[in-house]
């Protein structure tokens, strides 16, 4: 099946030994494109190098993850993100709020997220958003950004129906990862409430390998396992769902 992996950390050191082979395995598995996430400026630069090495197949993003928001420096980091956008990054992020791990103080997370949403508005680019146990603040900030014309995706989404609906209401997308294949996954209704034209799929590799690879390093060639599960939940054909989500990724991120 032909698919697009809308979220992969291919610049992560987990792929240092076999990054080129991982890209080739993704192609062989039917991938049409990989969106390589820059969750830090360092990662964004490496993801940008990957995009340059695989034009038309690897694309990249640039942002500062909520885990690192404590070190966010608006003038330095926004300039860095702007520079990556200027050399072809297709989106801002991943950025957002993570009150589960609380690796950075929440107020600093909100400041860094707000600054990146404002940059996305200024640059007219979509945003890749990470949110975990930060429902109210995410809903408020995404709704405000959406009303200001910013579009984006709630990636690897496992939150509430209310948050998904709030994002969908302002034109956003929702992306599902291998978590939907886990035995403990228990919210098929969430997977069904996202309309066809707002649905994305992702690996989030090297994390969250779908069953039966759970617990091992994840990679984009496993995305079809997630697509099969999402399709089963939605009573859709896997090939059709792969095509729809690929078209959505091309549309949201403007992939050539
Ligand atoms: Zn994330
Ligand atoms: Zn990520």
- What confidence tens digit (pLDDT) does each residue in 5-64 have? 999 999 999 999 999 999 999 999 999 999 999 999 999 999 999 999 999 999 999 999
Whose tokens are 């200001």? That residue is: 148
**CA–CA gap between residue 234 and residue 143 (Å, rounded):** 26
Ligand 2 center from residue 201 Cα (angstroms): 13
Please report which confidence band the pLDDT of residue 188 belongs to, taking 50, 70 and 90 as the band edges. very high
Residues lining ion ligand 2 (Cβ < 5 A) are 37, 94
Ligand 2 center from residue 149 Cα (angstroms): 23
**CA–CA gap between residue 178 and residue 218 (Å, rounded):** 9
Evaluate whether 171 touches 146 at the Cβ level (below 8 Å): yes
The ligand that comes nearest to the alpha carbon of residue 204 is: 2
The ligand that comes nearest to the alpha carbon of residue 96 is: 1
The ligand that comes nearest to the alpha carbon of residue 61 is: 2
Residue 256 is predicted with a pLDDT of 80
Cβ within 8 Å of residue 215, ≥6 positions away: 209
Residue 93 is predicted with a pLDDT of 97
For residue 146, pLDDT beyond 90: yes
Ligand 1 center from residue 21 Cα (angstroms): 24
Ligand 1 center from residue 215 Cα (angstroms): 17
pTM score of the predicted model = 0.98
3-class DSSP state for residue 210? coil
Ligand 2 center from residue 155 Cα (angstroms): 8
Ligand 1 center from residue 154 Cα (angstroms): 9
């Amino acid at each position: 099946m032909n698919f697009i992996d809308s979220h992969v950390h291919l610049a992560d050191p987990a792929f240092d030994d076999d990054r080129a082979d991982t890209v080739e395995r993704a192609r062989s598995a039917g991938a049409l494109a990989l969106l390589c996430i820059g969750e830090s400026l360092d990662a964004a630069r490496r993801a940008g190098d990957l995009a340059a090495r695989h034009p038309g197949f690897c694309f990249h993003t640039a942002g500062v993850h909520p885990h690192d928001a404590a070190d966010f420096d608006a003038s330095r980091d926004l300039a860095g993100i702007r520079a990556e956008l200027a050399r072809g990054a297709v989106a801002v992020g991943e950025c957002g709020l993570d009150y589960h791990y609380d690796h950075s103080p929440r107020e600093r997370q909100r400041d860094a997220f707000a600054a990146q949403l404002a940059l996305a508005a200024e640059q007219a680019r979509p945003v890749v958003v990470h949110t975990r146990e930060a429902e109210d603040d995410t809903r408020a900030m995404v709704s405000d950004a959406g009303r200001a014309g910013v579009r984006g995706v709630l990636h690897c989404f496992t939150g509430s129906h209310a948050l998904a609906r709030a994002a969908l209401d302002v034109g956003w997308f929702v992306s599902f990862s291998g978590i939907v294949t886990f035995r403990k996954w228990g919210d098929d209704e969430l997977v069904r409430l996202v309309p066809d034209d707002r649905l994305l799929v992702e690996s989030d590799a090297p994390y969250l390998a779908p069953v039966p690879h759970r617990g091992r390093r994840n990679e984009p060639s496993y995305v079809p396992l997630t697509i099969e599960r999402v399709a089963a939940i939605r009573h859709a054909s896997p090939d059709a769902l792969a095509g729809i989500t690929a078209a959505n990724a091309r549309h949201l991120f403007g992939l050539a």
